[in-house]
Amino acid sequence: MKRNLISMLDVKDELEKIIDLGIKLKKTSKKGENIELLKGKTLGMIFEKSSTRTRVSFEVGMTKLGGHAIFLSKNDIQLGRGETIEDTALVLSRYVDLIMYRAISNKAMKEFAKYATIPVISGLDDKEHPCQVVTDLMTIKEHKRKLNGLKFVYIGDGANNMSHSYLLGCAIVGMSIKIVSPKNYWPDDFYVNEARKMCTKVEITDKIEGCTKDADVVATDTWVSMGDEKQKVQRLKDFNGYTIDKKLMSLAKPDAIFLHCLPAYYDYEVTKDVAHGPQSVIFDEAENRMWAQIAIMVNLCK
């Protein structure tokens, strides 16, 4: 049966295996050894929203694997003129071996995955961003040498795609997770309940004071995700006071690391001195999108 990665739940049983494969292939490739494990394969990449990292990391990753990637912007394909998701999925499945889809909604993502006869990888939708969270866990493992038992604190929009995928990802690997967010922006119940089924240490709070105490990892994301632009003024008001600054970071463990999937908006969700400071690993994280996705694609094609 074909497999997809459109939710962290899709990799529940093999998450650590994929992370370890990403770390291994990164080392192998950096030694100058060949990692052409998907020679002759083609990845189709559909984008309904903007991207820097997802587009480039998938395309270069596929090249390193000996395969080929095709960039399909919604504006340039018939999907943008009203061809159905069903027909688009059925047609593309006849040409390419894998699809990466950055979708406007989780509903569109699920519909595409239902009709595609080849593996579908989410490049983000409004509910989840699984490739980014596999990447972030790989980055944490590289820096901390373990995942289980670590304390993870996410501050910001608790109802967005990163927060939901972090809830599931941290729970799968046995990390405690605290989401710190104004009450109107708490995660969907579904993700909290699924996380709690796997891990007892899941906390949702609006209390920012002292929230990073003893954290091993502190993370955030934009307060205004793609698709939320109309609510920007209200959101900036609602999130006022939730900026990660040096003071908040100093409460975390001395060797704590800071993560941000990027793009970052400085002095909103985080100050630049933290994001570009000694505890930040945001550029390792950006690079690791490529290595984690290499492992994801190899895993789905096997």
Name the site residues for ligand CP (rule: CB under 6 A).
51-54, 124, 132, 261-262
Q: Is 132 a catalytic residue?
A: yes
Member of 128, 221, 269, 285 binding ligand NVA (CB under 6 A): 221
Distances (CA, A) of 233 to 54, 159, 214: 27, 17, 33
Query: Is the peptide bond prior to 182 cis by the omega test (within 30 degrees of 0)?
Result: no
Q: φ and ψ at 191, to 5 degrees?
A: -70, -35
Locate all alpha helices (DSSP H) within the chain, ordered by sequence: 15-30, 53-64, 85-95, 106-115, 130-144, 161-173, 189-198, 232-238, 246-250, 272-275, 282-301
Exposure of 143 in the CB half-sphere (CA atoms within 13 A): 22
Q: Which is nearer to ligand CP, 51 or 271 (CB)?
A: 51
**Binding marks (x or -) toward ligand NVA, 58..87, rule CB under 6 A?**
------------------------------
225 binds, among ligand CP, ligand NVA, none (CB under 5 to 8 A by kind): ligand NVA
Q: Which is nearer to ligand NVA, 160 or 271 (CB)?
A: 160
- 116: three-class secondary structure by DSSP: coil
Q: Is 102 a catalytic residue?
A: yes
- 90: three-class secondary structure by DSSP: helix
Q: Which of 125, 126, 132, 216 is catalytic?
A: 132
Q: φ and ψ at 29, to 5 degrees?
A: -65, -40
Residue pointed to by tokens 């929009």: 157
261 interacts with ligand NVA by CB under 6 A = yes
52 binds, among ligand CP, ligand NVA, none (CB under 5 to 8 A by kind): ligand CP
Q: Is 129 a catalytic residue?
A: yes
222 interacts with ligand NVA by CB under 6 A = yes
Q: Is 221 a catalytic residue?
A: yes
We find the least distance from the C-beta atom of residue 47 to ligand CP, in angstroms, to be: 9
We find the least distance from the C-beta atom of residue 293 to ligand NVA, in angstroms, to be: 14
- 266: three-class secondary structure by DSSP: strand
Q: Which of 53, 102, 235, 260 is catalytic?
A: 102
122 interacts with ligand NVA by CB under 6 A = no
**Binding marks (x or -) toward ligand NVA, 142..161, rule CB under 6 A?**
------------------xx
What type of residue sits at position 279?
A: Q
282 interacts with ligand NVA by CB under 6 A = no
226 interacts with ligand NVA by CB under 6 A = yes
C-alpha–C-alpha distance, residues 138 and 132, integer Å: 10
Q: Give the bridge partners for 242, in sequence order.
A: none
C-alpha–C-alpha distance, residues 38 and 4, integer Å: 17
Q: Which is nearer to ligand NVA, 204 or 226 (CB)?
A: 226
Tell me which residues touch ligand NVA (CB under 6 A). Answer: 124, 129, 160-162, 221-222, 225-226, 261
Active site residues: 102, 129, 132, 221, 261, 289
